[in-house]
Amino acid sequence: MADPTPALQGGLFRLAPDGTLTLVGGRSRSSGRLHFPLAAVCPWTGADDVEPSDLPRHGRLWAWTTVTAPPPGYAGPVPYGFGVVEFDVPGEADGEVLRIVGRITVADADALSAGDPMVVVAEELPTDDGPVRTWAFAPDTGGDR
Amino acid sequence: MTDVAVAVAGVGIHPFGRHGDLTATAMGADALRDAMAEASVGRGAFQAAFCATAYGGVAAGHRVLGALGLTGVPIVDVEAGCASGGAALALAAGAIRAGQYDTVLVVGIEKMPKGIIRSSFFPSWMETGGLAATPAYFALRAQRLLSDQGLTLDDLASVVVKNRGHGVHNPDAMFTKAVTAEEVLASRMVSPPLHLWMLCSPNEGAAAVVLRRADLVGPGAVRLDAAALRSHLPGSVLDESTPLSGIDDEGITPPTQLAADDAYEAAGLGPEDVDVVECQDTDAARELISWAELGLCAPGEQARILASGDANVGGVRPVNPSGGLLSKGEPLGASALGQVVELVRQLRGQAGPRQVEGAKVALAHTIGRGANASVVLLST
């Protein structure tokens, strides 16, 4: 069944019937490197050989903070968590990492630590035109592995 | 290409702050008139003008020159985020070195709305999704600085104390009251680890510089030895280009370092030659990152320099004697030229109680959205 909540922006992720959200990025065939969001050309190497690629869902917390005042154009709740999660890149670029920016489900920065296991989750966000679906990073308790 | 030297013939500034209904055009005209008077350059004595602005709108430079009855020459608006003024200066200096012009006006203007900067840089869905939170990106960079280079929250507070202390002596600054580290750390937490007073305020102001071929001005004039502008190489998730993803950025040279390397090479100078610095302190952490990227210190050495007072006026190599953006506020298009105004006055010995004694070589640095980084080297 299709998600009744519209996506924040098309092409960023897929949502499975069980609520599992997978970010959709791109992978350059020549470099093996991943990127997000999916781009026509590899943003790291300029290679014109990008294929869509589901991104890993489990990563490590790399940098995080709290947004305490609503930034321009944002109608959702504050405070909210915001940060970068680091994912290991499997395959040809083994040993490489991809760092992705996103909201964090925990607003209290003191409740998080560097390297904490994190998982990509679906989040519903209020906007002036009704709720939208977006992605967020949540502490990974291991429940959905 | 012939080795044409470029000199700063005159500078002018309209104070940075909040000025009610006064337009950016009027502030720009004010700064430009002062710079032209200092340079003894009037109508007919210059061949082009560059106007730096990010929010000035269509034909901003035409409005400034039009207000003074100076139109007719080519007038080009330049937008390069926080480095707009550096970009305009680089274009003007390059045209003089190339022999295209002998005298060029450079003016930077801005009148920013209050609060978090709204930037057309972000697509609207990123704003809707809460992903256009500019200070939060600064905070992520600050957190990594503290963990990667062994610095502390107290070091960030020390930057604010230093710059606000310098700003006390700058009548063109927005904030002219000294602060203590305790006050900085007691100010509202915006995005950890950044407290409100660790972030500069977007505001209003203008600055202007008249550049001339050096043989047209007196022998004592300040020389513009280099004006370099670079953008980012892809890869760093924390870069001012604010990408949504990044790769391991070890080994990817940041734009500030790229611009600094270009400027040092063009001027035949190195970081060890620099006596006084104005560098981008959009937030307190950004200043400390810039020190290392400009080659002024090794990564991790910032805490020792802050504690020793080496970066204070009276110290070995003062940084941000004007008070920096933390004291002046940041009118985007004007801020880089404001740094040049300060450094020209320092090199002329006209900086009053914040004078850096004996300064011969000065460096101005800006980094911001784009990413854009500019580094300007001046000497006397």
Mean pLDDT of B246-263: 95
Which of A43, A63, A101 has the CB atom closest to B143's CB atom? A63
> Confidence band (pLDDT; 50, 70, 90) for A143?
low
φ, ψ of residue B369 to 5 degrees: the values are -45, 140
Select from B240, B337, B283 the least CA-distant residue to B16: B337
Buried b (16+ CB within 10 A) or exposed e, B48-69: bbbbbbbbbeeebbbbbbebbe
The span from the first CA to the last CA of chain A, in angstroms, equals 23
Q: Is B116 on the interface with A (CB under 8 A)?
A: yes
Alpha carbon of A142: minimum distance to chain B alpha carbons (Å): 24
CA distance B135 to B288: 16
What pLDDT shows up at residue B118? 75
Q: Is A38 on the interface with B (CB under 8 A)?
A: no
In this prediction the pTM is 0.96
- Reply yes or no: is the peptide bond before residue B193 cis, omega within 30 of 0: yes
What pLDDT shows up at residue B114? 76
Which of A37, A64, A96 has the CB atom closest to B244's CB atom? A37
Is residue A115 within 8 Å of residue A60, measured between CB atoms? yes
pLDDT of B85 strictly over 50: yes
Q: Which of B51, B82, B200, B279 is catalytic?
A: B82
CA distance B354 to B310: 14
Predicted confidence (pLDDT) per residue in B255-312, tens digit: 999 999 999 999 999 999 999 999 999 999 999 999 999 999 999 999 999 999 999 9
Q: Which H, E and C letters describe B254-282, residue by residue?
A: CHHHHHHHHHHHHHCCCHHHCCEEECCCC
Buried b (16+ CB within 10 A) or exposed e, B105-132: bbbbbbbbeeebbbbebbeebbbbbbbb
CA distance B347 to B128: 47
Residue type, B368: G
Indicate which CATH number applies to the domain containing B39. Answer: 3.40.47.10
The span from the first CA to the last CA of chain B, in angstroms, equals 24
Q: Is B350 on the interface with A (CB under 8 A)?
A: no
Mean pLDDT of B224-246: 96
Task: Specify the DSSP class assigned to residue B185.
Answer: H
Domain contains B165:
no
Domain contains A144:
no
The parent domain of residue A80 ranges over 13-139
Mean pLDDT of A95-124: 97
Is residue B196 within 8 Å of residue B223, measured between CB atoms? no
Q: Is B120 on the interface with A (CB under 8 A)?
A: no
What pLDDT shows up at residue B135? 94
What pLDDT shows up at residue B2? 53
| A71/B127 Cβ within 8 A | yes
Predicted confidence (pLDDT) per residue in B20-54, tens digit: 999 999 999 999 999 999 999 999 999 999 999 99
Domain contains B155:
no
Place of tokens 């071929």: B213
Residues from chain B contacting residue A80 (CB–CB below 8 Å): 130
What pLDDT shows up at residue A91? 77
Per-residue tokens: B161:
């104390």
Domain contains B95:
yes
Q: Is B202 on the interface with A (CB under 8 A)?
A: no
- Provide the mean pLDDT of chain B: 96
φ, ψ of residue B222 to 5 degrees: the values are -70, 135
CA distance B321 to B171: 12
pLDDT of B110 strictly over 70: yes
Nearest CA in chain A to B146: A63
Domain contains B329:
yes
Q: Is B71 on the interface with A (CB under 8 A)?
A: no
- Reply yes or no: is the peptide bond before residue A139 cis, omega within 30 of 0: no
Q: Is A84 on the interface with B (CB under 8 A)?
A: yes
Sign, CA torsion B255/B259/B265/B271: negative
Instruction: Please give the tally of structural domains in chain B.
Output: 1
pLDDT of A4 strictly over 90: no
Q: Is B82 a catalytic residue?
A: yes
| A101/B129 Cβ within 8 A | no
pLDDT of B218 strictly over 90: no
Predicted confidence (pLDDT) per residue in B176-204, tens digit: 999 999 999 999 999 999 999 999 999 99
| A74/B129 Cβ within 8 A | yes
CA distance B141 to A99: 13
What pLDDT shows up at residue B345? 98
Q: At B52, which helix (H) or strand (E)?
A: strand B48-52
Query: ipTM of the assembly?
Result: 0.95
Domain contains B147:
no
Domain contains A123:
yes
CA distance B195 to B152: 13
What pLDDT shows up at residue A3? 82
pLDDT of B74 strictly over 60: yes
Nearest CA in chain A to B245: A100
Domain contains A22:
yes
| B134/A63 Cβ within 8 A | no
Residues from chain A contacting residue B243 (CB–CB below 8 Å): 43, 101
| B189/A8 Cβ within 8 A | no
Nearest CA in chain B to A102: B131
Q: Is A134 on the interface with B (CB under 8 A)?
A: yes
Q: Is B233 on the interface with A (CB under 8 A)?
A: no
Angle at the Cα of B335 from the Cα atoms of B241 and B151, rounded to 5 degrees:
60
Per-residue tokens: A126:
């209020």
The parent domain of residue B279 ranges over 6-115+199-379
Alpha carbon of B130: minimum distance to chain A alpha carbons (Å): 6
Per-residue tokens: B359:
């300064």
Residue type, A57: R
Alpha carbon of B186: minimum distance to chain A alpha carbons (Å): 16
pLDDT of B1 strictly over 50: no
Residue type, B285: A
Strands A97-104 and B245-247: antiparallel
Nearest CA in chain B to A75: B128
CA distance B163 to B153: 16
Per-residue tokens: B299:
């990564």
Alpha carbon of A125: minimum distance to chain B alpha carbons (Å): 7
Task: Specify the DSSP class assigned to residue B283.
Answer: B
| A125/B129 Cβ within 8 A | yes
**C-alpha distances out from residue A38 to A8, A55, B233, Å:** 15, 10, 19
Angle at the Cα of B210 from the Cα atoms of B205 and B211, rounded to 5 degrees:
135
What pLDDT shows up at residue A2? 74
> Confidence band (pLDDT; 50, 70, 90) for A145?
very low
Instruction: Please give the tally of structural domains in chain A.
Output: 1
> Confidence band (pLDDT; 50, 70, 90) for A92?
low
Mean pLDDT of B240-252: 92
